[in-house]
Amino acid sequence: MRKMVFPGDFLADSKMSVRGVYVEDGKSYASQVGLYDSDTGTFIPLEGPYEPQEGDLIIGVVSEVKPNGYRVQTGLPSETFISNKDIRESLSMGDIVVAKVRDVDEVGEITLIDATVLKGGSISQISPVKVPRVIGKKGSMLAQIKATTGSNIVIGKNGWIWIKGGDEYLATKAILKIESEAHTSGLTDKIADFLKKGGRE
């Protein structure tokens, strides 16, 4: 049975080490609003800030050019850094980049590698916990939006989404609709219908 849980709600007698759960006296309790499935023991937070993990692909905007690299804004409390060693092209302020998180240190500061500049386009922001919904199972949702709108879309785990070309307006609208209805079922069909009607309900 899947049910909605709130901070402080008892989840299990065992220790769970997933996001949105804390352990006290060997028992697990929810620390965020989320959906808990007691059969499979999975917890999906419904809301929450981005918590960077090694290997995440994120989108950011260059905010400062330094002698040894670039500072990038990614919506995290601390600014992130790309070293000159890890990037071939030179960036300038305001460039949109997509990069991989190399490591996260103990105070939450991250360094990025494999940065690629995204030329043109625009950024939309959604809640980071809803990103898996926008991508869909094996990328089905994203593929569907790309196919219908003809837009080029790159999704960052930090909830920043870069969209360029095609019907940008419709693509953005569809993504925002997924965000607001992320917790409902049958979303892929609903979005297919939404896209077919050109964004009208």
x/- site string to another protein, residues 95 to 124, per CB under 8 A? -----------xxxx---------------
> Which one of residues 12, 41, 46, 100 is an interface residue with another protein (CB under 8 A)?
46
Provide the minimum distance between the beta carbon of 156 and another protein in the complex, in angstroms, as a whole number.
Answer: 18
Which uninterrupted H or E stretch holds 164? strand 160-164
| 7 near another protein (CB under 8 A) | yes
| 2 near another protein (CB under 8 A) | yes
* CA count, 13 A, side-chain hemisphere, 52: 26
> Which one of residues 49, 139, 150, 198 is an interface residue with another protein (CB under 8 A)?
49
> Which one of residues 42, 53, 64, 183 is an interface residue with another protein (CB under 8 A)?
183
| 15 near another protein (CB under 8 A) | no
Environment class of residue 89 by beta-carbon count within 10 Å: exposed (0-12), middle (13-18) or buried (19+)? exposed
Enumerate residues 6+ apart whose C-beta is below 8 A from 188: 136, 140, 141, 144
The Cα–Cα gap between 172 and 33 comes to 26
Q: How many residues bind another protein (CB under 8 A)?
A: 34
Nearest to another protein of 121, 132 (CB atom): 132
Nearest Cα residue to 49 out of 78, 76, 17: 76
> Which one of residues 14, 42, 53, 78 is an interface residue with another protein (CB under 8 A)?
78
Provide the minimum distance between the beta carbon of 31 and another protein in the complex, in angstroms, as a whole number.
Answer: 4
The Cα–Cα gap between 14 and 45 comes to 19
Provide the minimum distance between the beta carbon of 138 and another protein in the complex, in angstroms, as a whole number.
Answer: 18
Longest pairwise C-alpha distance within the chain: 55
